[in-house]
Amino acid sequence: MKELPQNQSSPRLTNLILICFSLCIIYIFLSLVLAPKTRLLHAPVLLQDVSSPTSLEHIVFGIASNERSWPERKEYVRLWWRPGQMRGCVFLESSLLLNSTSDNDNVSLPPICISQDTSRFKYTYRGGLRSAIRVARVVVETVALNHSNVRWFVFGDDDTVFFPENLVKTLSKYDDGLWFYIGTNSEIYMQNKLFSFDMAFGGGGFAISYPLAKVLAKVFDSCLERYPHVYGSDSRISACLAELGVGLTREPGFHQTDVRGNIVGLLAAHPVTPLVSLHHLDATDPIFPNMTTMKALEHLVEAAKVDPHRILQQTVCYDRWYSWTISVSWGYAVQVFEHNVFLPDAICAEETFMPWKNGNGLNALLNFNTRERHPDPCRRPTLFFLDKVSSDRDGIESIYRRMIPDNCLIGVASPKRVEEIRVFSQKLELDTKQLQAPRRHCCDLLPSSAGKVMEVDIRECKEEELIYMHP
């Protein structure tokens, strides 16, 4: 092959260089022009990542009630409702009560919404209440309120007491852009056996994320047609969510409270998670002695306002001198065992309560660990109930006193000679990692404890610290 003369190859090389240079200029120009557009396309993702934390303003409540129960049970709702911060409705079957609503109710309670007619739907559960269909449709009608900037819909009964800060904190660890159905089932085995182990019981309250609730509302009436045979409203909601392929995400801070009588043992052994709700308080004794049910709840709520994340959180420590075991359920009660108790036994719920239904056998089976209550009252842990809580810049002090008298003999080494327990702590501020991987706190009996007063300090456990009884 002949070589081209040098004077002919030189122009070709020059042209090639010019073409490459031009392409580089075009590439740089296009990059500068298109770069802002590319950033704009990704902007929503970045905004989603740095969106504001979940707050009460992002939640809409749907509360199911009726004309018979609302006049009395509205006091439960008044305990936790935050006017101006919360949105939602109490759903009644008719407008008969609207004329008797006081100005105070209009200010301190949610607005009343009238449920739509549900007579077109069949209800075939023998002995049940067809009002369950109306209550189930509270989900649809709450979504239809069309509130803006919603992340979660939360549902409950008129006797459900929510703890708002803890509800927000619990929901904040989930991605509200995904499909979530959050709640818990019953404490009683047979209740779950009859209705479902995978259903959020409505009285304990449950939460549905915004995108899931929007879809559920669209298809829910078709689901109602297929489930005339189930008993309750929560069964219908759970069934329709199952048809959408969504299962229950369990949060033990929601409490159906399917027990009766004295629930001290249940409350004093709360799991290491924020207290979100309590239910069925008409069926239980007042949670504090010498108070009405409502006054006792107000007492607990006042403590929760001081340190919401710590309320009912159980901390256990051991006294080396007397071999006592001290179990602090913050903001509620302190139990002092007059002997060493292994930690797994100390954190179990004492069986102070009765099952939801009378009878033994399966009706008495529970879904959580318990310890038997000693038949001799003098052999039971000495119980101190919350008297008052105060806080300042140095921390929080809560004081617990004996409020139930007994005729037990008091020995030198008996905790019954103690009259007051002072508990010192710092406000508990849980972050997402602590919510996802919770750890029980430790406590120390302070050297200043003597005679009739015991002082306890609550703190975070050290990395390798064990909570155990000393030899």
Bridge partners (DSSP) of residue 91 are: 64, 113
Q: Which amino acid is at 342?
A: F
Grade residue 281 by pLDDT with cuts at 50, 70 and 90: very high
Mean pLDDT of 433-453: 91
Asked if residue 213 lies in contact with residue 244, where contact means CB atoms within 8 angstroms, the answer is no
Please write the tens of the pLDDT for every residue from 152-186.
999 999 999 999 999 999 999 999 999 999 999 99
Domain boundaries defined on the chain: 56-256, 307-459
Q: What is the mean pLDDT of residues 63-76?
A: 96
Query: In this structure, which CATH number among 3.90.550.50, 2.40.50.140, 3.40.1160.10, 3.40.710.10 belongs to the domain 56-256?
Result: 3.90.550.50
pLDDT at residue 102, as a whole number: 77
Q: How many Å is the maximal CA-CA distance in the chain?
A: 123
Beta bridge partner(s), residue 470:
none
Rg (CA), the chain: 30
Cα→Cα distances 455→7, 131, 421, 452, Å: 101, 52, 6, 10
Residues 341-386: pLDDT tens digits? Answer: 999 999 999 999 998 888 667 888 899 999 999 999 999 999 999 9
Question: Minimal CA–CA distance to 297: which of 315, 279, 310?
Answer: 279
E strands present in 196-241: 206-209
Q: pLDDT averaged over the chain? A: 89
What b/e string do you get for 165-180 counting C-beta neighbours within 10 Å, with b at 16 or more?
Answer: bbbbbbbbebebeebb
Distance between CA 240 and CA 220 in Å, rounded? Answer: 7
pLDDT of 198-234, one tens digit each?
A: 999 999 999 999 999 999 999 999 999 999 999 999 9
Burial grade of 91 (CB within 10 A; 0-12, 13-18, 19 or more): buried
Query: Across-strand partners of 395?
Result: 392
Task: Check if the beta carbon of residue 423 is closer than 8 Å to that of residue 398.
Answer: yes
| Consecutive H or E run containing 173 | none
